[in-house]
Structure 1
Amino acid sequence: MSTTSAPGERPGVAMTDEAYGALRASHALWAGTSVLITDQHGRILVQRVGYRPTRLLPGGALDPGESPAQGAARELEEELGLAVPLTRGLAVDWVSPAGRRTSPEARFPGELLHVFDGGVWDEDRIASIRPAPGEIEGVDFVEPAELPALMSPDDARRALSALRARVNGAGPAILEDGRPLAPTLLDRVNAFTRRRAVQHWPWQDGPAPAGLPVRQSWGWLFAPDGRVLVLLDPANGAACLPGGTPEPEDDQDPAATLIREAVEEASAHISAPVLLGHLPDQEHSAGPRSRVRMAAALTYVGPSRPDPATGQTYVRALATPEQVVELFNWGPGAADQLNAVHRERARLALPHAPRQPITPVTDEDSA
């Protein structure tokens, strides 16, 4: 016997096991899984299928008695021909009957859909993909910002929420129709909805060659906990490091550019900057330019205010260096730049910050 109440009954009224089972079966939901996979440039794997006009993440419905992780691994092997262990969940989404377009004949009751982290795939693993004949027409790796145009609205929201949860590293996000119940900073600024600029320039330690003009001076500005300051566009989450274009008053000194720009963009005051290296930009319309990267410690952060050059008021946030790299599409040179950043962090005797949710720097924090 069960004492769980049926609708309309007084609490504590006993039910037979048969009645209780029938009650729970009447509220049954569909159950499904999907897997978020990226390549080494942060692009997301989506599948082209013949039975739908929109793209899909790998995944599908669970078989009877199958756990979500088992189902996700099975679907990956069936659809892409690869056996991949899945041990980390990124999101659990309650897809309501109103949140998915289905035909009335399907009598869609709602679904609980688990999103798992399929990891970052290198070129060898990508080359091993064998799409299931007759089901998967092909796969593509696409910029996160392209998902809303390629997927159904609920699928795109879910995939982007899962990607933000992966970057934050704080555990699975609980979603309703792809929207998080407890939005993080990355959710609130709609991170990854603006296409990231592709900047696959090789990293070079040390100063730029003499005679190569400096196009940009950006800084890795360390907080005492080993995280760094990153600036986010409040409308689309587009990220940049503090810094900018040299002005005449900087007297061709990248350190002076960084000190000035950090104050103007983020009200951030810093220690004397140290040169990390540079990126040779061969694609600039005015000819080859250098993009300098420097490092410094944050000494004081004042109240936020608009950048006088653009009128933009950025969302100031603290992130681990690894999270910062994931917000950009810097290509193979990103790893070398990250190594240079950590060498300077160690020289400053700052800790290696563990992955944690990217957090805003508020005016209260700076008071």
Structure 2
Amino acid sequence: MTTTSAPDERPSVAMSDEAYGALRASAALWAGTSVLITNRRGQVLVQRVSYRPTRLLPGGAVDKGESPAQGADREVKEELGVTAPITRGLAVDWVSPTGRATPPAMKFPGELLHVFDGGVWDDDQIAAIQPAPGEIDDIEFVEPADLPALMAPDDARRALSALRARINGAGPVFLEDGIPIAPTVLVRVGILRTARARHHLPFHPTPVPDGLEVRQSWVWAFAPDGRVLVLLEPDTGGAVLPGGTPEPEDGGDPVATAVREAGEEAAAELADARYLGYPSDPDGPCARVRYAAALMSLDAAQVDPATGRTYVRILATPEQALEFFDWGPSAAAEQLTAAHQARVLLGIPKAAHQPVTELTDPLSW
């Protein structure tokens, strides 16, 4: 009979094929799959199901002889009644026997659960969804920050980890009970763990009308590689672009406001500011102007005198940066277009998609 060595024994110690198979079967885990789908606002699709009080991502058990990707494709078809391209993995989670609350009679041995990227769905794709009757009561798109309140703890951790991995773009992450074994800065700061401020304000790529107060001045600060500076709040995980509220020393100049605020918040030096336009706030009414500028240098991080925070500074592509804000699909797209037009005028190339980079030391270009 063919023999083989047990994985935890010395090579000279042999086991029968039958014994080796029994040993491996005794350590077998379940296999599961799920799919992360978002809408154009960055909200996550979750399902209300008939058999659990908490929300779930589309997905389920991997059938015998089926790969996790095949299982993900099948589950989307069965549960949502549509076909979604499953082209890449976002996370592989080792769910420990104690990492999920299950009835003792189930004898849950643990699970390897794969999370796949279902993409960003437009209104037509969402309208085509037909939830499986008797199993899926309804679907909804929710803010990432709401997932912990709606899902089981391990499901919420896994979904947020997969979403951060998709934004970061470094490839699939490996999790243990939903927690990355190698946390990125997005995980460490907890990006998307608190609600994104909702600013669905129309964007105007035109000068501010006479008489309309400028109440904020923010800037897309482009590094030479085409990425932009984003500031992360260490206590909330919230994200902001450099900028803020005009002060008397700015002399009524929004560019001076943006330059001063970038220095105070991020110890950043800017040059060659280009006007983009302004979102208009009807509740003010007021204008919240936007600029693009070249990022020339960064000094050591310091406490922002206005907030008392020391922001975590990262470089992200403009497209990644938009994931951190809820500006509404139309206004976000218009502002992104204006920022890229200014980038070209600044002579800066378009950034390749890449993981975000934390900036901790002084730097100059």
Determine the structure 2 residue equivalent to 1:299.
296
> Alpha-carbon deviation of 1:366?
6.3
Are the equivalent residues in 1 in contact too, given 2:92–2:115 (CA < 8 A)? Answer: yes
Mapping 1:11-22, distance limit 5 Å: 11-22=11-22
Correspondence list, 1:77-226, <5 A: 77-226=77-226
CA distance in 1, matches of 2:356, 2:296: 20
Question: Who is 2:67 aligned against?
Answer: 67
**TM-superposed deviation, 1:4:** 2.5
Residues 58, 76 of structure 1: 8 Å contact kept: yes
1:147-173 CA deviation, whole Å, 9 max, x = no partner?
Answer: 000001100000000000000111001
- The structural deviation recorded for 1:19 is 1.6
2:338 aligned counterpart, secondary structure: helix
Aligned to 1:343: 341
Q: What letter is aligned with 1:200?
A: H
1:255 and 1:352 map into 2 onto residues whose CA distance is: 24
1:330 maps to what in 2? 327
Please identify runs of 4+ aligned residues in structure 1 that moved more than 4 A.
364-367
**Aligned partner (choices 339, 355, 360) of residue 358 of structure 2:** 360
Unmatched 5+ stretches in structure 2? none
Counterparts of 2:164 and 2:24 in 1: how far apart (Å)? 34
CA distance in 2, matches of 1:358, 1:168: 6
Q: How far 1:184 sits from its partner (Å)?
A: 0.6
Give the conservation status (yes or no) of the 8 Å contact 1:3–1:12.
no
Match in the other structure for 2:310: 313
Determine helix, strand or coil for the equivalent of 2:272: coil
Q: Which amino acid aligns with 1:3?
A: T
Deviation string, structure 1 residues 116-145 (Cα, Å, up to 9, x no partner) = 001011111111111111100001100000
Aligned letter for 2:286? R
Query: In the superposition, relative to structure 1, how do residues 6 and 231 fare at CA in structure 2: closer, same or farther (>3 Å)?
Result: closer
Whether the 8 Å contact between 1:205 and 1:278 is mirrored in structure 2 is yes
Conserved 8 A contact 2:158-2:178: yes
Structure 2 letter corresponding to 1:318:
L
TM-score after normalising by structure 1: 0.96
> After the TM superposition, which of the residue ranges 306-315 and 15-24 deviates more from structure 2?
15-24
For 1:167 and 1:236, locate their aligned partners in 2 and report how far apart those are by CA, in whole Å: 18
Tell me, in whole angstroms, the C-alpha distance in 2 between the residues paired with 1:232 and 1:76. 34
Query: Secondary structure of 1:273's match?
Result: strand
Secondary structure in structure 2 of the residue aligned to 1:3: strand
CA distance in 2, matches of 1:235, 1:357: 22
Instruction: Provide the C-alpha distance between the structure 2 equivalents of 1:63 and 1:135, rounded to a whole number of angstroms.
Output: 18
Answer yes or no: is the 8 Å Cα contact 2:28–2:109 preserved in 1: yes
CA distance in 1, matches of 2:364, 2:155: 38
In the aligned structure 1, how far is the partner of 2:3 from the partner of 2:124? 55
Q: Hey, what does 1:26 align to over in structure 2? A: 26
Question: 3-state SS of the aligned residue for 2:291?
Answer: strand
Structure 1: 5+ residue stretches without partners? none
Give the secondary-structure state (helix, strand or coil) at the position aligned to 2:5: coil
Selected match of 2:287 from 281, 286, 290 = 290
Distance 1:341 1:290 in 2: 17
Q: How many residue pairs get matched?
A: 363
Deviation at 1:277, TM superposition (A): 0.8
SS of equivalent to 1:116: strand
Per the alignment, residue 47 of structure 1 pairs with: 47
The aligned amino acid for 1:4 is: S
Cα drift, residue 3 of structure 1: 2.7
Whole-angstrom distance in 1 between the partners of 2:363 and 2:348:
20
The 1:4/1:282 distance shift into structure 2, 3 A limit, reads farther
Distance in 2 separating the partners of 1:266 and 1:308: 11
How far the C-alpha of 1:322 sits from its partner, in A, is 0.4
1:269-298, Cα deviation, whole Å (9 max, x unpaired): 110311111111113xxx211010001111
Q: Which amino acid aligns with 2:317?
A: T
Contact 1:303 1:366 in 2 (8 A): no
Secondary structure in 2 matching 1:346: helix
Q: Percent identity?
A: 65
CA shift in 2, pair 1:203/1:2, >3 Å: farther
Distance, in Å, in 2 between the alignment partners of 1:366 and 1:313 is: 20
CA shift, 1:59, in A, is 0.2
Distance 2:232 2:261 in 1: 15
Do the aligned partners of 2:297 and 2:363 also contact (CA within 8 Å) in 1?
Answer: no
| Matches of 1:57 and 1:235, distance apart in 2 | 28
Which deviations, in whole Å up to 9, do the C-alpha atoms of 1:61-104 show, x marking residues without a partner?
A: 01100000100010001000001120110000000001111111
The residue type paired with residue 336 of structure 1 is E
Q: CA deviation at 1:204?
A: 1.0
Q: Could you say what secondary structure the match of 1:344 adopts?
A: helix
RMSD: 1.3
The question of 1:273 aligning with 2:270 is answered no
